[in-house]
């Protein structure tokens, strides 16, 4: 399987610098990733720690790796030295573990809080109450080695565009409502929403970062 170069160029034109493209390369080979890399792509997203680590070791070091899957606390240390952005943070305890491992690596790790916006039971994420509890927890200030830079969400897997749009609008409203006041480790600038099937809706709802896999790399034939 080879990458879709014309789709890549089309996407870049469509995004027009207003949203960052994260190329979701889970299950895809290092050769496919390099093909896109050679066209200038630097942001890549992966869902599985082991797969990400193997690819990190084999690929150029100026790639910005995004972790977009569900991260288990005991796996944080594996990626803490190099991860660029962790999209799916959905608990305070995970945030604390990321802070601890970031400190051991003398760095600050940027994180997005994942909000549950889909009407489906299966998707991970915080509800708006839980989000408020994390953002207004007095403890957040003490986590000097993380920075919350935005929110992330996944819409329902459906062909109902009105439903998808309302879910993305809900996340955008939460994002706007929580934008103030920024502190050293809380500075919202990223709204990560939109995948191959729904990114145009996400962009019109205010997405600043889209995560796109199958449109670029073709359909996946195993997990994910």
**Which CB, 99 or 198, lies closer to ligand PLP?**
198
**Can residue 83 be called a binding residue for ligand PLP (CB under 6 A)?**
no
Least separation in angstroms between CB 106 and ligand PLP:
29
Q: Is 196 in the site for ligand PLP (CB under 6 A)?
A: yes
d(CA 203, CA 216) in angstroms, rounded, equals 17
Q: Is the peptide bond before 181 cis (omega within 30 degrees of 0)?
A: yes
Do the Cβ atoms of 191 and 171 come closer than 8 Å? Answer: yes
Residue 23 CA to residue 4 CA, distance in Å, equals 12
Binding mask 136-175 for ligand PLP (x = CB under 6 A): ------------------x---------------------
Tell me the sheet residues that pair with 209.
20, 192
Is residue 200 a contact point for ligand PLP (CB under 6 A)? no
Pick the binder of ligand PLP from 73, 91, 158, 214 (CB under 6 A). 214
Q: How many CB atoms lie within 10 A of CB 103?
A: 16
Chosen residue from 195, 202, 203, 209 binding ligand PLP by CB under 6 A: 195
Residue 205's φ and ψ, nearest 5 degrees, are: -90, 0
Binding region for ligand PLP (CB under 6 A) out of 36-44, 78-86, 101-109, 190-198: 190-198
The CB-of-108 to ligand PLP minimum distance in angstroms stands at: 23
Given the rule CB under 6 A, which residues bind ligand PLP? 24, 26, 47, 68, 154, 195-197, 211-215, 224
């Amino acid at each position: 399987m080879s990458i879709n170069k014309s789709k890549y160029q089309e996407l870049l034109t469509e995004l027009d610098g207003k949203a960052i493209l994260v190329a979701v390369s889970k299950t895809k080979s290092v050769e496919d990733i390099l093909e896109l890399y050679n066209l200038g792509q630097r942001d890549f997203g992966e869902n599985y720690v082991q797969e990400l680590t193997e690819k990190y070791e084999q690929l150029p070091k100026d790639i910005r790796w995004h972790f977009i899957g569900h991260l288990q606390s005991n796996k944080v240390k594996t990626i803490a030295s190099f991860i660029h952005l962790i999209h799916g943070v959905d608990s305070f305890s995970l945030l604390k573990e990321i802070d601890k491992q970031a400190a051991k690596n003398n760095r600050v790790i940027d994180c997005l809080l994942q909000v549950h916006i889909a009407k489906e039971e299966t998707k991970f994420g915080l509800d708006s109450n839980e989000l408020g509890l994390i953002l207004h927890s007095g403890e957040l200030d003490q986590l000097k080695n993380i920075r919350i830079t935005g929110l992330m969400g996944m819409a329902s897997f459906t062909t109902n565009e009105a439903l998808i749009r309302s879910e993305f609008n809900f996340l955008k409203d939460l994002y706007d409502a929580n934008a103030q006041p920024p502190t050293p480790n809380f500075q919202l600038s990223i709204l990560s929403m939109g995948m191959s099937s729904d990114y145009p809706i996400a962009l019109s709802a205010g997405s600043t970062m889209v995560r796109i896999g199958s449109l670029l790399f073709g359909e996946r034939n195993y997990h994910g």
